[in-house]
Structure formats: structure tokens, C-alpha cells
Structure 1
Amino acid sequence: MTRLSALKSAFLATCALLPMAANAQDALPTFDVVNVSPVQGSEIAKDKIPSNVETVGASELDHTRAPSLLDNILQSVPGVSLGDQTGNAFQRDVNYRGQTASPVLGTPQGIAVYQNGTRINEAFGDVVNWDLIPEMAIARMTLMPNNPLFGLNATGGALSIEMKNGFTYQGGEAQLFGGSFGRIQSGAQYGWNNGTYSAYIAAEGAYDRGWRDHSSASQIRRMYADFGARGDTTEFHLSFTGADNKLGSVAATPIEMLNQRWSSVYTWPQSLHLQMQMVQASATWKPTDTLSVQANGYYRNYKSARFDGNGTEVQDNGGVFGIADATGTLLDINRAGPVANTLAGDAILGQIDRNSVKTDSYGGSVQATSTTQLFGHDNHFVVGASVDHGNTNFAATSELGTIDNNLFVTGLGVFIDQPAAGLAPVNLNAKNTYLGLYATNTFDITSQLAFTAGGRFNWAQINLRDLGGNLPLLNSNNNFQRFNPVAGFTYKFTPNITGYAGYSEANRAPTPLELGCSDPNNPCLIDNFLIADPPLKQVVSRTIEGGLRGEISGGSSADAAAPPPYRKAPIKAVSVDDGWKLRWGLSLFRTENSDDIIQVVDPANPVRGYFKNAGTTLRQGVEAKLDLNWNRWTAYANYTFIDATFRSAFDVNDPFLQAPVGVVPGNHIPGIPAHRLKLGADYAVTDDWKVGASFNYVGSQYLLHDETNVYPKVPSYWVVNVNTSYQVTKNVEVFGLIQNLFNQRYYSSGTVFNTGGFNTAGGGNAFAFNDPRSVVPGMPLAAYAGIRAKF
């Protein structure tokens, strides 16, 4: 798709909804209650949750403050930081308390993500594709640590996303904005109801050509629609989510190249095509004022296709081009020989890796919630069950190629097929079945003291089958099961100060990818070649958390003061008063993971690797936050400290040294910054004109694959963003924002790599690296401007 056609798609997505727009108004739920399970309908007072739960409203996901969903999450939620393994703003990692929800296959996934009660961690690798979620259609998000009711992968917490519908949003809205690096994005939404029936639809389109050299442009097309009906005791919703996205990718680059040119890339082309369609149905029945029953079901079709130019480990055996030798371990390339189609004697070898994932998944949940008093005391009881099934076909091939002086990989039409060397096309079927039974009860011992206890039983079956016939060691049946308890207290010292303490356990089963690449004697090219399936243990987390939260206020209008800055409603006049309100929170947490799974490189061939259980790891720290609302000012300050360490001794392989090295207890886990600080403020200059700024600081972190902590860290960095908006008329607003105002040069993440990774044996040595650090550079200054209208 050209930039012009992508712009046309984005524009039409907006215009298609404009004729329906009329009298926009928000009627979204308040944030005094949160759901304690993935299924909506289990709401309880937020102040009775024995953990540091965070809620994010629709107005927080506002493009007048940040250009994307992930940027808004970063700015709004204490403890959250963003990682970048792909070099694409639509495909970053969300990191929380040292755990990750990432779109990258092979990344350990420690956060469970749900959309309207449906788990959207994809079946094959538990990855989370943030670009598939229609941002404009989000009503609110809840980030909840220390709660096993959210099932597998909630070792670090769970993120529950609630979408809008015609009962919670009425009217229409359209917006268009664009700016640096060819970014153009539009969206529109419309909601309606007549009291009995409702309808809601949202559509978004975006184009971004990227800022790195040779970046493939990204094109985003996604939509969400919901039809609802309700009566006196029932409510039903049928919804559809669809996306068709093409994403450019420019991953980590040797630091020596970036020192010469900040926008340089290592090897290319790299691209990803994602397609998804999901149908959901949900129903609620409330036979009495204290009893409700919820049920939902879904079908999800997911496809991904990756194209990635890389170096190769294939070697020349001196025979005929394209023919494997008798051992199957070397591919005869025949440099500068007499045979036709021979390569130039100085050709540098590479390969084009292609893989595809095609998944059909379906499942459902049923749940009952009771608020009937127990022994004359308030009580909140939830019980439920869920089932999820996924059927995935994974295919991967590698085509031999050459690398030119610009590091572009050109395919030669020869596909590497050497099963004896573990380099053969993969055709794998993976079936996942997950069952869950859960219950929780919160009992008010007194009007101030509440006790919560419950748990969830998880059962997981993961079966792998080699469809190609070359890799029989992949065939396996794997079963995992565990009961995870939760217990905690909340105590209201005063009406405005609450203390809490809790304990919980959670687990995650190894993914099909991890199971298919876990043999140290048969390392694989992650994520292209899967070879063997020796057993891996499930990861089990044990979390202790405690803290305080509260608010203080004053002034004549304190009770009517607006919400914190990231919950303010856009397009509203600001009245002058002397009321102020300060919300604050302090939380201490300690999470110990047993049998944590890590990715290890192969010492003989650093482009290969495998997954292994690495014993016990520890993530502990503190979260502190302040939200101030005073007169025309809103401001926030958040700080997080994380001490993430290995607690067991084990060996890993150093990609640079190409030799085993020993990890000892106390070594820090790579890729987890110890310090994060976020500051921000918004000021209403007039009732129509607002300005704001944010400051994000991220501390230094060890490089990925530096488990022994011997290499220089990825340096700490800070970024300042500014934004402004002006209310032109009652229904029209213009806005502008600048990311990285001071044009800071920083690295968002990095890894240790093999400086001799290019196979130049017998060929030219055009690329020589000495520094084993490969890093992802941060985006330079970027400016955007846009317009939004409500009707």
C-alpha cells in the first residue's frame, strides 16, 4: 500500500461515520468500582482491593496528550515502562514490575491481557499485539497485580480492557492528526441507544513511514462494533473487532553503526503483516438486587506473516551451489566456481527468514456474583469457570541470500533444508486447551476492615505435532495444572486513608514456542526453526504486597474538583475555584518466580538458542504516586523502584565470548530498569486553551543476554513531551504535541550480540565489529497537530 492509499483508507474510515454523528456525550462508568475477575459484572469497591490497582479512563487515552495507546499508558500508569525490540511505535513492550506483555515471539509473557473478558494473549506464544486493539473504542482499562483470578500469565499482573457500547457512549466524534515521519492518523466513533437497544461503532486508520533508514512503512486499519439489548433484568451484547495491519520493523543495531549514523539499521528488510477478526457475545442476568450471572463466548481468527533479512550460519562446502553435502550440515555454495549461478568470491552470505502463524481460538466463561449479606455483614462473592482452546499452524522457512554494502539481504531462491543440522522448514501444529475454575470472597469484618480470600485452579494442555515429517522430536503432549490462592486485608484508618496487604500465587505454562525450542543439544533459530521438545516446568510466582492509599482535599470547591489529570474530560470549560484534591499511594511488593524460563544462546552458533528453566528469580520494589487537582492545575508524580535479581546459580552462554558463563545469585535480570520517574502537569490558561508537559526518566538496565552483568549497561535517559489544545467552538478542538522536545539521543533497550555474526568465510569482510552491544535508538523529536470534532 502506498502512502497515498493508506491516507485514503484513514480518511474514509473517518468520513464513513461522520453522517451518523450527533450530540456526543460521555456516560462512562466511574472508577470507584473495579472488576475482580476478567468477566465484567464482578465489580467491587476499589478501596476493598488488597493491591495497588490502577484504572485508566477513555479520556486518558486521548491523542491530544500522546500519539498512541502505549504512549498514553506510559504517561498515565505508575510503574509502567515501555520496551522496544522492534523499532516500531505500534509494537512496543509494556513492562510492569519487571514483567512483560510483548508482541515479540520468545519474550517471556508475565501479564495477562483481556478485552471484554476474552483473553487476547495469542495462543501460540502468549504475545500481545497492541496494534490490534481499537484505541478509540476503549472505555477503560484496569491494571491489577496480585490477582490469580485472571488465569495463566498473571504472574506480574493483569490488564483488563473494557470497550465502549451504545449504553455507555452516545453521539459522535471524529479526529484527524499527523506530523513527523509521515504520520497521519484518523478515527471516528458513534454510539446510540433508545433505552432498549444500542449500537456503537469505531474505526481507525494510520500511516507512519518510520524514522530509521530503510524502515518499512506501517499501515494500521482497525475497527470495533457492538450491538446491545437490555431489559429489566438482562443485558446482551454482540461485538466484532477487526484489524489488518502492516508493520515495519527495525530491531537492535550495533552501537558502532549508530555512532556513525543515528538512524542506521543492521539488516533489512523486516516487516510484519497481522490480521485478526474476533466475534464476542456476552450476557448478564440479574434475577435479584444481590445476584447476577454473566456469560460470554468468543471466536478469534489470527494470522501473522513475518519477513526478516538476517545473517546466516550456512557455510560453503565447496561443491555445487544449492546442494547439501552428505552429512547435511553444510550447504554447498560454490563461490567463484565454474558452475552456473555461482556466487561472487567475496559475497557475504545471509538469509531471509519467513514465518507464519495461523490460529483459530474460541472459548467462553460463566460467572455468578452475589452481594448478599453474610451474618449481617456486607459480603461480595464471585465464582466462575472458563475454557479457552487454540489451534495453531506455524510454518517457517529460510532462503539463502547475500548481503550488500547497505546490509540489504537479497534472496537467491535456494531454501535451506538440512534436517541433520536442524536447519529445515518447519510445519507445526499446536493445540492449546486451558481450563479455569475460580472463586473469591470479600467479607466486611467491620465497616473499616475487609478480608478477601479465594483462588483459581488452572489446567493447561499443549500438544505439538510435526506436520512436515522431518522433526519427530517436536511431537509431544504436555499437561500443567495448579491451584493459585489469594488472600488479603484492607483497613480504612479514616474515610480517606486505606491500608492493604495481600498474598497471591500465579502460574504460566510454557508456550508452544518455548516447548518446541528447549533442547540445549538441538538449539534452534528463534523464532524460525523449532526442533525438539524436552520438558519445561511451569513458572510459579508468589507475591506479597502491602501499601497505603488515600486523598486529602480542601477549599470551598474541593468536593467538586475535577478528576486527576489523566482522567479529565476533554472539550469542557474549566471553572475557577479554590478547591484542591491530592490523591496519593504507596505500595511495596515482592514477587518470587520459581522455575523462571529464560532464553539462552548456543555457544557454537550464537544465532541459535533455546529456552530453559533458570531456577528462582526475585522482583521486589516500591511504587509511589501523587495526583493533584487544584484550580486550573492538574499534576502528577510517580516513582517506581525495582530490584530484579536471579536467586539461583546456573550457566548461560555468552553470545560474544561464545562460551558458557556462570550466573550467581544476586546477578540482576537484564532489561529491567531499577528506577522510573514520571512527572506531568496541565494548566488551563483560559477556559478554552490548555497546555501541558510530561517528564519521563528511565534508569539504566543491563543488556539482554548479559545475565552475568559484565557488559556496560544501557544508559539511563529522560524525555520531555509537551502538548496543547484549544477549544475553537463548543464542538471543535485543535491540538498539538511534541514528543522528545529536547531531541535526546538515548537507547530504549539493547542486547549482547556476536560481533562475528556475519558469515564471511571465503567472502568479503565488509563489516567488522568490535563492540558486542546492539541497541535500539529512541525516536528523535517528533511534532504532531490535529483537529477533533464532536457532534
Structure 2
Amino acid sequence: MVRTSRTTRTRAAPAQTAAAPEGGAGVPGASDRDASLLDRDKIPSNTEVLTSADFSHNYSTNFLDAVNRKLPGVTLTDQTGNPFQRNLDYRGFVASPVQGTPQGIAVYQNGVRINESWGDVVNWDFIPEKAIDRVSLVPNNPVFGLNAIGGALSIQMKNGFTYQGVEGEAFGGSYGRVQGSVQAGGQKDNISAYAAFESAYDRGWRDYANSSHVNRMYVDVGARNDLTEFHVNFTGANNLLGNVAATPVQMLNQRWSSVYTWPQSTLLQLAFVNATLNHNFSDTWSFQGNAYFRGFRQSHVDGNGTDVEPCDDPTTLCIGNGLPVFGPVDGPATPNTLGTAFLGELDRNRVATNSFGGTAQLTNTDRLFGHDNHVVMGVSVDHGNTKFTASSELGTIDPNNLFVTGTGVFINQPDAGLSPVDLRATNTYTGVYLTDTFDVTNRFSVTAGGRFNYAQIELRDQTGTNDLLNSSNRFQRFNPVIGGTYKITPNLTAYAGYSEANRAPTPLELGCSDPNHPCMIDTFLVADPPLKQVVAHTVEAGLRGGWGRDARTGVLTWALGAFRTLSDDDIIQVTSPLGVNNFGFFQNAGQTLRQGIEAKLEYRYNSWNAYANYTYVDATYRSAITLSSPNNPNALTNDAGAQFVNVTPGDHIPGIPAHRFKAGVDYNVTEAWKVGADLNVVGSQWIIHDYTNQSPKVPAYSVVNLHTSYQITKNIEVFGLINNVFNQHYYLSGAFYQTGGFASATPGVTNLMAQLSDPRTFVPGMPLAAYAGIRAKF
């Protein structure tokens, strides 16, 4: 039986929402004895599952590559230029580590929603890959709570009951990559323990500021008897990541590894404690619950251009419309002592978040009217408290390498929208949910239910100088779900479902939604008009099936489905209408539509294992809206000098590739030696902020990766990978930027990089890279 579980998920779906591989436990339960387990053929959506074997470094070098390799509908985009900080795109919705990216996927670890309270970002680098037991991708269910408008990704970690033994691994390769890990687990009677530690260094392949230092750990201690199972686990991380981001296309044409401005780096730290409890009151009643604390710290520094320039009096510096760089607008001018240096700035921000919460859930499996019935009901509360600070320091740019050095002068001019920020944000999310899966016959099952979400978000200025930033926001909604599955034959199941889900604006979005006072995302926040919550309506239907029981005679599994999600009041990020460096704001964009088809096929026969999947995503705007689009060569200009475009229904949403195809094959040459290859094809996409689809697209690309492993002894294995074996040059994402270069502190000096006239900027894909490693298991 293929089963699913809701054992200890905080703000997650009940049993019907996640699937497990054949013979495996559900998600996110700690035990196969969990009474909330449910047959996967009763789930009215296209769930997908990866096991711990899929995250082996035999096939990929990190978590995101492993998810991208096998899951239909998933592709990776990149805004940071760092392999640990890419965006996961599923059906046109995103889970991203980048502040300011509108999030559409809820991500859970051991039942706790790990979208951070500030911005709903997902820090993939915090997840210890060795400790992953399985991952479920679940669309079409509102009971995952806020932000699951595009679906949910549930990560279940190992414990001493599910993993016994000791394993050590070391591997390295191109661009200075060195990585090591150790994991150990076991049980004695009713007590279990598990621990995993990982450390990695990657110099990066770009010219500057691209190195990554990753250190993370996971520990779990558990106990159980015939009726109860209890676990306490801890995740910790201390990571320093380089973020070189996009580079103008004209620079990339000259040197593929070039970097525009730097430094760009992010320090990320985590302390995350979670306790889970599963108790069976009887054969038909059970309790699942958890409680957690999560401490998150982030410090970001980013070298950029600036709007500071010499005043009419060249012995002074101004910002905005002739305003001093700091101090009162009628105060003394800012002295210009920088000679002929080119002007830039260092933007810094810090996020410190403490969040805690828990869930309590009951499951009942009593028969109803003589039919099997499965009821899950629960309540969850999640509270976060964030302190956000930000500042900008005037800098100078080295003309040889575009490195920005601070001058000690901090920009503080509220009338130009630039002043240090000290903000406290408090958010509390409460959810109450119930779902019921009723077997009408032994072939036909119906699921119905829903979740009520209530969000409270408070913003409070701590500087005492920006009272307009203070706000209290409330969002509430009931989201229903209904669906059914029908087992046409023992090997063929049809499913269909409808659901609604909502996403409340994040504190970051609420603090930056006024086009007249744009923000440096995510450095400066100002007063704002209110944003509406996003409401998504999803319809999904399809077929899934399989034939064969044993790889010796062949096992085939397949699925074919269609989906359609219409979102009301979608939130998007747009740039300042006046084209001010790095400034933008958030706004509701009316209705958007993401619809398409998914198909997958997997075949195992003797020594062969092959897979292929394809997804088509048609993502469009459905409302006529006017959007700010500076630096866009096709933008219009109004009397005030603001640049904009008029979006019409049917224009495609930028940054979402329509076609995604993946295929791979593995072959056991001998019992000890395995070889394999993977192909990843991603279709073209419109450049970010090209809302009217008039500029050339980001081109489609294809990448081939090879891997092999050899079992030297029972305990020792060596492995190797080659990524991008044909050394393809391709772009992961594109956007527009402000051309014109960087002004000198001396009038009359030609701007640095003024020769760059093409407003397109891209994040380049990694060239050919090779890695090798060794693994010992005992």
C-alpha cells in the first residue's frame, strides 16, 4: 500500500495531502503506526515523492538539484548566482531565498512551516541533505495553511528508528568545491538517536565574491512504546554565501564569469528546535502534535550604484532633487572630498527573527454508515517577531574590478526616500482545519473539507521618525477543498479536485507598496497603502497507474494530469517608475492564471532504470493593468517622466518558462558499478519586468549531466559526477537594469561603464564541472 501521513505537520495538510513511496511511511509521520496514514490512491491531486536515495551525491551535488532532477513541474531559476540560493519554481509559483520575491509555495520540515516570518523566504542552505528521509510535493490543498497557493513541499527528516548505522562521506571538485558529512543513527529498545553534520566550501566559478561556506547539523532523539512516540530534534546552521547575481549581457559576451558590482554576501544563521508527539487513544482515535522554536538571523551586504552625484556646486554632493546626502533638507551641503572617484554605495540589512508555534490534531478512522471513513481535524498557531534594520553607506567603485568600498558617510535623506530603518514586525497566523475522506465504494473515494486562516501582522517603527510606517493588518478567509478518486482498474486511478488557498501579504510587502515612495528592496521601508491578500482557485484532474511488481519482469509507473490556478489580487514586485537605482515596490496585479499539463513515466527492468517527465505551464495576466517598468526599452513615458507599460489580458508573466522536460537513465554495468545520465531541458522565458512581452526572451537551454559509482567493498563506495558535460552557455534568468554607468565625483568625467547600452542583464549558468568522492558505511 502507498500511504500518506499528517502526523506532526504544523499548519500542514492532514493525511490525504502527502504521498509516500511504496512500503514507506507517510509524511511527515515518525512512525508507520500513525493512524492518519492514507492510501495514496485516495488523494485527489498529483502528489510526488522523493526518498533519501534520491538525495545521494551519486546523482547531484545539493538538495535543489536533486529536487529538480526528478520532480515534474519543477525548475530552478537563479537571482543570486549561488547554487545554495536558487528559486524553486513549481507550476509557475516560487519558493525563494531572495527577499522581495513573491512567494507561492509553503515548505515544511518535520511538520513546521520553514518559510521565514519576514518575507516568507525559504533558506534551502539550512537543510542538512544527509538527514533527509523523504520529500513530498503536494499541490491543490488549502490545509497546508497560508502561502500554499501553488502547493507545498514537505521534508521529513531521519531519526534513529528509521536509520541505523554510521556513514561518512567526502567529495570535491571544480571551482574549489570541498564537502564532507557524517551521519549516525540507531535505537536501543524504545530509545532512538540520530545525528548528521555537514560542512562545505565552494569558491564559486564567477570572478569575485562567489564563495560559499556552509556548516549545518541535525540531531534527533526519540522514544516510543506501543501507543506513543515522541521526538525532539534540532537543526543548526552557520552559512556565509556569496551572491554575485546578474551581469549585463555585454559583459557576459566578453567574459562568461564576469561580475558587475560587488561585494555581495549573506550571512545566515539558524537555531531550530522542534518536538513532536503521536499518541493512539484507541484503534480509531489518535493525536498528532508538535511545538517549535526557530531563531533566524541574516546579515546582507550589497555593493551597488548610487543616486548620489555632484551638486551644481561640484564641491558638494547631492541626492534626489539637489538634497543633502544626510541631514535636514535646509541644512549644510555634504562636502565632496572624493576627487575623481566613481560613486557607489554599500547597502546593508539585518533580519533577526524569533518564531514559535505548534499544532494539535485528531484523527478518526471509525466506519461511517458501514463505509471506511478518515477524518482529520486540527488547529495551529504560528507567531513570529522580527527586528529589521537597514542602512546605505556612500562608497567608491574601483574601475578595475567594480568593487565598492565604503567611505564612512551614511545616506540619510528621508525626503529622497533614503534613511536608516529600524522596524519591528510581529505576525501571528492561526488556522483551524478539517478534512474527511469517505469511501463511497471500494473504488470511489470523496474528500471534502477546508481550513480557516486568520493572519495578524503588526509593523512598528523603532526610530521614532517614521510613524507612517506603523500599521495593523488583519486577513482572514475560509478555503474549501473537494475532490474524488476512482480506481478504474487495480492499476489505473482517476482523480479530480478543486481547492482554494490564500496568501496574506508579508511584513516586507506591506511595508513597501507605495509607488510614490518606493523602497530599496529589501533595504528601505516607507509608509504604504494596504495590499489585498492573494486568493487562488485551483482545479486539477488526471490519471495515474502502474504495471508490474518486480524489476526482474519490469515495473512501469506513469501519470498524466492537467491543472488550472486562477489567482485573485496576485502580488508582484515592480521597480520604481522613475528608474531610481535598486528601488521598487509591491502591488496587487489583478487576476493571474497558471495552467498546464504534466506527464511522467518511470520504468525499471533488471539493471535498467529510466524516467522522463514533461510539464507545460501557460502563465498569463488576466487583468488590464498599468505597471511601472523603468529601464524597459519598450516602456512608455508620462508627463512626470515615469516609465510604464500597459498590460493586457493574455500577456505572459515574465520569468516562468513554459516548457520543462527531464529524462534520465541508470544502468548497473555490474553489481558493483553503476553509470547514468540526466537531461534537463528548460524552455524560453520572458525577461523579468518585460510584462508586455516585447523584448527578446531568455533563450531555452538544455544540460546533460553524467554520474557513476563503484562499490569497492561492502562498506566503501566511490562516485563521480560531471555537470553540464557539453559546457553549454545558458542563462538562468534575465532582467532589465539602469544603463548609463556610474557617475564620477568630479563633473565632466565620463561615467564608468558608460559603454554598456543594452539594458538586459542575466544570471549565467555554471559551465562544465566535475566532482568525485568516497563514502564509507558501517
Same fold (TM > 0.5): yes
Rounded to whole Å, the distance in 1 between the matches of 2:28 and 2:200 is 34
Give, in whole Å, the separation in 2 of the partners of 1:102 and 1:43.
Answer: 30
Alignment of 1:613-762 (within 5 A): 613-657=588-632, 659-756=643-740, 758-760=742-744, 762=747
Alignment partner, residue 92 of structure 1? 86
Are positions 1:605 and 2:579 aligned together?
yes
Alignment of 1:401-412 (within 5 A): 401-405=395-399, 406-412=401-407
Equivalent residue runs for 1:277-676 within 5 Å: 277-318=271-312, 329-331=323-325, 342-344=337-339, 346-405=340-399, 406-553=401-548, 559-561=549-551, 577=552, 579-607=553-581, 608-657=583-632, 659-676=643-660
Structure 1 82/439 Cα, relative in aligned 2: closer, same or farther at 3 Å? same
Q: Tell me which amino acid in the other structure corresponds to 1:145.
A: P
Task: Give a deviation string over 1:22-64, Cα, whole Å, max 9, x none.
Answer: xxxxxx9846664499998632111111000001100111101
User: Hey, what does 1:171 align to over in structure 2?
Assistant: 165
Structure 1 CA distance for aligned equivalents of residues 236 and 587 of structure 2: 36
One of 770, 773, 785 as aligned partner of 2:760: 773
SS at match of 2:310: coil
Helix, strand or coil at the partner of 1:560: coil
CA contact (8 A) 2:326 2:413 kept: no
Aligned residue for 1:513, secondary structure, equals: helix
Tell me how far apart the structure 2 counterparts of residues 587 and 94 of structure 1 sit (CA, whole Å). 21
Against the structure 1 CA distance between its residues 315 and 340, is the aligned structure 2 distance closer, same or farther, given a 3 Å change threshold? closer
CA contact 1:86–1:249 (8 Å) conserved in 2: yes
- On the 8 A contact 2:261/2:402 being kept in 1, the answer is yes
2:3 match: none
Q: Distance in 1 between matches of 2:63 and 2:71?
A: 12
1:63 corresponds in structure 2 to: 57
For the 8 Å contact 1:641–1:675, the answer to whether it is kept is: yes
Cα deviation code 1:471-521 (max 9, x no counterpart)? 221100000000000000100000010000000000110011100000111
The CA deviation string for residues 135-183 of structure 1, in whole angstroms up to 9 with x for no partner, is: 1101111100001110001000001111110011111111110000000
Q: Secondary structure at the match of 2:496?
A: strand
Whether the 8 Å contact between 2:325 and 2:412 is mirrored in structure 1 is: no
Instruction: Provide the alpha-carbon RMSD of the alignment.
Output: 2.0
Per-residue deviation, residues 409-459 of structure 1 (Å, max 9, x unmatched): 111110001111110000000001000000101000000000000111000
Among 254, 267, 270, the residue aligned to 2:248:
254
Q: For the Cα contact (< 8 Å) 2:698–2:733, is it kept in 1? A: yes
- Structure 1 residues 31, 428: closer, same or farther in 2, change over 3 A? farther
Cα drift, residue 316 of structure 1? 2.3
Cα distance between partner residues in 1 of 2:442 and 2:45: 19
Q: How many residues align?
A: 738
1:21-32 counterparts in 2 under 5 A? 30=22
Alignment partner of 1:256: what SS?
A: helix
Q: Following TM superposition, by how much is the alpha carbon of 1:757 offset from its aligned partner in structure 2, in angstroms?
A: 5.7
What is the Cα deviation at residue 764 of structure 1? 3.1
| Matched residue type, 1:158 | A
Q: Which whole-Å CA distance do the structure 2 matches of 1:234 and 1:322 have between them?
A: 72
CA offset digits 1:194-232 (Å, max 9, x no partner)? 231110000000000100011342111000001101111
- Following the alignment from structure 1 to structure 2, what is the Cα–Cα distance between the partners of residues 526 and 326? 18
Which runs of no fewer than 5 residues in structure 1 stay unpaired? 1-27, 554-558, 562-576
**Matching residue of 1:110:** 104
Structure 2 CA distance for partners of 1:420 and 1:41, relative to 1, 3 Å: farther
Q: Which moved more, 1:214-223 or 1:203-212?
A: 214-223
Q: In structure 1, what is the Cα distance between the partners aligned to 2:446 and 2:138?
A: 17
How far residue 331 of structure 1 moved from its aligned partner, in angstroms, is 2.6
Assess if the C-alpha contact under 8 Å between 1:104 and 1:127 holds in 2: yes
The CA distance in 2 between the partners of 1:634 and 1:325, in whole Å, is 62
Quick one: which amino acid aligns to residue 313 of structure 1?
Answer: D
Could you report, residue by residue, the CA deviation over 1:685-723 in whole angstroms, capped at 9, with x for unpaired residues?
A: 001000000000000000111111111100000000000
Deviation, 1:601, is: 1.2
Q: Is the 8 A contact 1:328 1:421 kept in 2?
A: no
SS at match of 2:610: strand
For residue 71 of structure 1, give the secondary structure of its aligned residue in structure 2. Answer: helix
Aligned amino acid, residue 759 of structure 2: P
CA distance in structure 1 between the partners assigned to 2:708 and 2:345 by the alignment: 47
List alignment gaps of at least 5 residues for structure 2. 1-19, 328-332, 633-641
CA contact (8 A) 1:33 1:44 kept: no
Does the alignment pair 1:156 with 2:146?
no
Measure the CA separation in 1 of the matches of 2:568 and 2:228.
Answer: 44
CA–CA separation in structure 2 for the residues paired with 1:321 and 1:511: 43
Aligned to 1:10: none
One-letter amino acid matched to 1:675: H
Aligned with 2:597: secondary structure? strand
Distance in 1 (CA, whole Å) between partners of 2:153 and 2:309 is 46
Q: Indicate how the Cα distance of structure 1 residues 332 and 489 shifts in structure 2: closer, same or farther if over 3 A, else same.
A: closer
The 5 A counterparts of 1:161-240 are 161-240=155-234
| Contact 2:573/2:584, CA 8 A, preserved across alignment | yes
Assess if the C-alpha contact under 8 Å between 1:589 and 1:622 holds in 2.
yes
Q: What is the letter of the counterpart of residue 594 of structure 2?
A: R
Amino acid at match of 2:673: W
Question: Do the aligned residues in 2 keep the contact of 1:105 with 1:527 (CA within 8 Å)?
Answer: yes
TM-score using structure 2 length: 0.92
Name the TM-score, length of structure 1 as normaliser.
0.91
SS class of match (1:288)? coil
Instruction: Show the counterpart of 2:769.
Output: 782
Question: Which amino acid in structure 1 is aligned with residue 497 of structure 2?
Answer: G
- The amino acid across from 2:628 in the alignment is N
Alignment-derived partner of residue 566 in structure 1 = none
- Shift in CA distance, 38/164, structure 1 to aligned 2, threshold 3 Å: closer
The alignment partner of 1:439 has SS state of strand
Query: What percentage of residue pairs aligned between the two structures are identical?
Result: 60
CA contact (8 A) 1:419 1:471 kept: no
Match of 1:125 in 2: 119
